[in-house]
Every structure is written in C-alpha cells, then in structure tokens.
Amino acid sequence: MSEDRSKANTVEDKRFRLLIDAVIDYAIYMIDPDGIITSWNTGARRFKGYEEAEILGEHFSRFYTDEDRRDGMPQRALDTAIREGRFEGEGWRVRKDGTHFWSHVVIDPIHDSAGKLLGFAKITRDLTDRKMAEEVLKQSEQQFRLLVQSVTDYAIYMLSPDGRVTNWNIGAQRIKGYLPEEVIGQHFSMFYTAEDRDAGEPQRTLSVATREGRFENKGWRMRKDGTRFLAHVVVDPIWGDTGILLGFAKITRDITEATQAQQALEQTREALFQAQKMQAIGQLSGGIAHDFNNLLTVILGNLEIVRKRMADDPKVVRLLDNATQGAMRGVSLTQRMLAFARRQELKSEPVEIPTLVQGISGLLRSSLGPSVVLETRFPPQLEPVMADVNQLELAVLNLATNARDAMPHGGRIVVSARTEEIAKGGRPSMAAGRYVCLSVTDTGEGMDEATLASAMDPFFTTKGIGKGTGLGLSMVHGFIEQLGGRFLLKSQKDKGTIAELWLPVATTGSVAAPVVDEPAAPEVPRLCVLVVDDDSLVLTSTCLLLEDLGHRVITATSGVQALELFEGQQGIDLVITDMAMPQMNGAQLADAIRTLDPNVPIVLATGYAERLEGFAAGLPRLSKPFTQLNLVEIIASAMK
C-alpha cells in the first residue's frame, strides 16, 4: 500500500513538473533557504536567457540590478516572504545578455509538515511591454500637461460636469487674470457678464456641448479686474468608457485685438471704396458741369444779345428775364457740382469772418423767417482766414438754410467762430497750423447715424422730390477741402446739428480785402480778337457778344487752326481760347503763341479750374458761363 502511494506520488510529481515546464509566459523556479536556485522551467529559460545547467546552483540575486543588490533587495524579498508569508513586487531585472526587463515577482516560502523552511517558490512575469506602454502614456500625459501649461495665448482648462473649474493653465491666468488657487473649484459662470448670467448663457453652453458634442461661440467675458474682452470659446464634453460624462474641456481665446484690427481693416476698405466712389462721381460731375457750362454760356450770351436787340415789349422782356433766371439757376447748379468736384475757380484772399457774416446777415434773416432766431458769437480780434469770399458766403447761406429746414417749428441758429492750433497728426486730413473753426449750430431735429454718414454724399437729400439737389453739403465739403481746410458734421437725433468749417488762417502780413461796390464796366478800345473753341455754339455766342461790343473777331475751332491763323494774320490784339480742346489744349496753344509773339495778351476760357503750370498758370481766366460784362472786365484786365 505504501509502495503504491509512493508510485502515485512520483507520477503526480512528474505531471506537475511537466506542467511547470510547459509554462512559457512565467519564470517558475525554486530556491533554497539561502537563495540558491534549485529548479528552472522553460518560461524562465525563455525570457531570462539561462539554460538550466548554467543557472542551477547560482544565487537568485544575479537577476537583480547592481543598485538593487547593493541595497540588499534580494534578501529583503526573502525576509518579507518568511515574515509575511508572501512577497510581491515589481522592478527591473537583468537578463543573461545584460538587458533589463520589468518584472512582476511573487515569492512564497515552502515549509515541511513540521514547519521547517525548505526554500521558496518564485514566479516572475515579464511586464516590460506593459511597463513601456505605461511609461509612454505617462510621458505623453506629462508632455501634454507641459504643453497645455506652456500655452499662453489660449485659456485651456477643465470643468466638472456641473461647471466647476478643475484645472487652470498659464494662458487662462494671463487672459483672465486669476491665479489657479483663486479659481479652481469656482463655477465657470464667474467669467460671464451679468447680462449673460441672467440670460442663462453658462448653462446653455454646457447643455449644447452635452447634446451636440461641441459648443462654439463668440461673446464678451470678464477679467478679474472687471474689464471685458471679446472671447472665442470652444467647449467639448469628456465621456468615460462607460458613457458617463466626466466633465468638459474649455478653450478660450482673446480675440479683442484681432476683431478690432479686422474692423479697422474693413473701415479702411470702406473709406477707400468711398474715396474711390467720390473721386469717380467728382470726375463725372466735373465733366458734366464743364459741358453744361458751355451750354449755359451759349444760352446766356444769346439771351443777352436778344434782349438788347428786342423792342421794349414788357411781355417779351419778362420772358427773357425768366429764361435768364432759369439759366442762372443752372449756373448755380454747375457751381455746386464743380465745388463738389473741387474744380471751381477759387479766388483765395484774406477774409474777416465777422465782417463777412455781418454783410449777409440781412439776407440770412430774411431767408430764415420769423420763427428762427439767429445769433452770432465771435471773439474779439478773430484772425482772418484764406478763402473765396463768394464761395464762403454761399457755404454759410447753405448751412443756415439746411438748419432752418431742420427746424420746421422754429428754433435757434448760432453762427460762431474760434481759433485753434492743430499740431502735426492732431487731426486726420489736416495739415499742422492755425485754423479758424466757423460753426453753424441749430436746435433742430438732428440726424441719426445712418443719415449723418451719408449727409455729405452727392445727390443725397432728406427733402422731398424737387426740393433739393442733394449737392449743398457736398459743395461745401468740396469747397473747404479745396482751400486746404476740413468740413465736419456733428449731429444726434432730436439734439440738433453742428456744422464746422475749419479754414486756414491767413498768412502774416495779408490784409483782408475791403468790401466795395462793383465797379462800372471799364472802357475798352476796339480790338481784333482771335477766339478759339471746339464747341461751335460757344464759339458763335462769344463772337456775337464781342461783335456787339464793337470788336472784330476771327474764329478757330482748334488749337492747330488757331496757330495757323495767328501766323498768317497781322494785327491780332487779343486771343481768347478755350482750355479743354482735343490734340492741342488752350495752355499748349498759349505757349506756342507766346513763342511767336511774347507781347500778345492771352485769356483762357474754362468751365472748371484745371491745374496749370509754367507760363499758362499766370494767364487771366474767363470762367464759363460768362456774360458780356465779364468779357468787358477780362479784356480790360488783359490789355493793361
């Protein structure tokens, strides 16, 4: 019986050994009480590299690193197993080839039936792959944490499911102003404005992110110091493996400066577009006014001749007067168009503003009516400005009339002035220097922002059809800009309007021109006049006016023809030439004639103010449309 049991035990031991040897994923071996290896399985051979014959009888500490051996770790492992009945731990171990692997070790003490220690059972598992994966993950997490903490342009932080801040990067600290200890644990709604909190915006943000998987928006947020910034916000929900909401990732970017820069760029583009549009309209207006001036020259000239030659029939005279008045209204319209296009002929001279306003005060009061009170407020010894007297009077009348129309039930208009020194870069589009600000202030209906933005656009008007050309303010704008000044409008709805004319102060030593009555037409001797114009109607009308004055007229329809006539004709006393002609313009013709005869007087007739250089710039100008009296005056001036 005892023999049979012994055989059975032997068979069982063999099976157990075969089972141990078959395990290749674990190193399973025995060591005696002193740590000497007494058995070795296939798994131990596979990942430690030792054959059974070369490792049996060796101390198991050879598998430890030098540092662990110096620290006495092998013996502590055995002592722990004896003392506690088991040792379990992880650490680096060394293979035969000297490479290291991360192992999970279990050591169990083996006692006989009497309790005597026979040795130890040691099971080692190679966890290098898992350890490396953990290290990679740890390193990745650390790098990500460092990355997030290093970002300064974005606020990146986490929220708990109920919206409380759980971490805080340096970008959040820089943008929002809070230290981590001041904000972690607080609800993220603290960054919202009071209006957004009242509207439930923070909770809506989390609800949308949870429902749709992402929330993105722009809005105003609050810094610690109470200031606001425009933020671009992205909120993403974070889900666990089991589908539980773990919290939210929130990224905030301060886009205040970028938005302001974009707005500034758009405003610059709009200003450029507006400038290009105004330039195009100005060129169109100038061209139309030039052609219209030619027509008005013909109409006014012929009406003047007809009236002089008609009998004194009151009905015919009244018809002619009405036609003349209609033509003069056309002249006023062309002057406004030329002023807008900055092509009007200006005669800049020192002007005393108080004297000018006093001179037209009677006309102003009669135009404004009894329901409007007119006040003037000028400081003593106000410096004179450089301006065209007639155009400045027209501008003031225009502004006062507009102010009256804005006060249908009456009100008050104040015309005042002050002197200011403008430093370099002090005001856009104004050169440094001294200016007089002439302002016309009313207590009328005022303008909203949209109306104010378009008020100086050509042909824009708030008046009914047929009650305004829409060129009044654009005319004032063009006139003031042409003088080197600035026209500004300030207005609020129901609070009135202030129109400011910034005019450059006259240079030292300039004397304001006195206001005198118009002189009588000077006496002019009979002359031989060469008239040049490519418009046959204007040419005929000018000839009729000159012949009616008793002059002999020679005509040419081009500069080339005029030059041929001048070379072949003796006794030409005066040349009157149109400025805008094809092939050879009036300035070029004047240069050519001056070469042939430097003493002959030359007059340039023009519908608008061209920029001239050299000799032609000093020639007398005859502005179209002109009357017979204008011809008499310009001839007298040219023949001096």
pLDDT band, residue 461 (cuts 50/70/90): low
What pLDDT is stored for residue 516 in this prediction? 43
Say what the pLDDT of residue 15 is: 60
CA dist., res. 498 & res. 436, Å (int): 15
pLDDT greater at residue 607 or residue 483: 483
- Predicted confidence at residue 464, as pLDDT, reads 44
Query: For residue 113, with 0-12 CB atoms within 10 Å meaning exposed, 13-18 middle and 19 or more buried, which class applies?
Result: exposed
Collapse the DSSP code of 226 into the 3-class scheme (helix H, G, I; strand E, B; otherwise coil) and give the result. Answer: coil
pLDDT at residue 17, as a whole number: 59
Q: Which of 28-32, 621-625, 628-632 has the highest mean pLDDT?
A: 28-32
> Domain 151-254, what architecture?
2-Layer Sandwich (3.30)
Is pLDDT at 33 greater than 80 in this prediction? yes
Query: Exposed/middle/buried for 540, CB within 10 Å: 0-12, 13-18, 19+?
Result: middle
CA R_g for the chain: 51
Q: Which two tokens stand for residue 328?
A: 């003069």
Element (DSSP H or E) covering residue 22: helix 2-22
Q: Fold identical between 264-340 and 528-638?
A: no
Q: Which of 66-75, 526-535, 612-621 has the lowest mean pLDDT?
A: 612-621
For residues 461-479, average pLDDT: 55
Q: Each residue of 507-547: pLDDT tens digit?
A: 765 554 444 444 555 566 789 999 999 888 888 888 888 98
Average model confidence (pLDDT) for the chain? 80
Q: Between 449 and 253, where is the model more confident?
A: 253
**Is 262's pLDDT higher than 90?**
no
Taking each helix axis as running N to C, give the angle between helix 389-405 and helix 361-368, from 0 to 180 degrees, rounded to the nearest 10: 20
- Report d(CA 155, CA 251) in Å as an integer: 6
pLDDT category of residue 465 using cuts at 50, 70 and 90:
very low
DSSP output for 534-559: S-HHHHHHHHHHHHHTT-EEEEESSH
Q: Which of 26-30, 92-96, 284-288 has the lowest mean pLDDT?
A: 284-288
Strands laid side by side in the 100-111 sheet = 26-31, 117-126, 100-111, 87-94
Distance CA 357, CA 364 (A): 9
Q: For residues 157 and 251, what is the distance between their CA atoms, to the nearest angstrom?
A: 7
| Adjacent-strand bridge partners of 252 | 155, 233
Could you say which architecture CATH assigns to the domain 349-504?
A: 2-Layer Sandwich (3.30)
With a cut of 50, say whether residue 97 has pLDDT above it.
yes
Highest mean pLDDT among 20-34, 201-215, 502-516: 201-215
Transcribe 139-189 into DSSP letters: HHHHHHHHHHHH--SEEEEEE-TTSBB----HHHHHHH---HHHHTTSBGG
Spatial contact of 577 and 600, defined as CB atoms under 8 Å apart: no
Q: Is 498 helix (H, G, I), strand (E, B) or coil?
A: strand
* Fold of the 264-340 domain: Helix Hairpins (1.10.287)
Which pLDDT does position 422 carry in this prediction?
A: 83
Residue pair 453/408 in contact (Cβ under 8 Å)? The answer is no
**If you count them, how many residues does the chain have?**
640
Q: What is the pLDDT of residue 448?
A: 83
Strands annotated E in 6-153: 26-31, 87-94, 100-111, 117-126
pLDDT surpassing 70 at residue 620:
yes
**Helix, strand or coil for residue 130?**
helix
Q: Is the pLDDT of residue 240 over 90?
A: no
Section 207-217 average pLDDT: 93
CATH T-level assignment (fold) for domain 528-638: Rossmann fold (3.40.50)
pLDDT digits (tens, 9 = 90+) for 380-422: 889 999 887 877 887 888 888 888 888 888 899 999 999 988 8
Closest alpha carbon to 532 in 496, 564, 503: 564
What DSSP character marks residue 192? B
Residue 450, pLDDT > 50, answer yes
What φ, ψ does residue 547 adopt, rounded to 5°? Answer: -65, -35
What is the CATH number assigned to the segment(s) 2-128? 3.30.450.20
- The domain segmentation of the chain, as residue ranges, is 2-128, 151-254, 264-340, 349-504, 528-638
pLDDT of residue 372 exceeding 50? yes
Report pLDDT digits (tens) over 313-360.
776 777 777 777 777 766 666 665 555 444 455 567 899 999 988 888
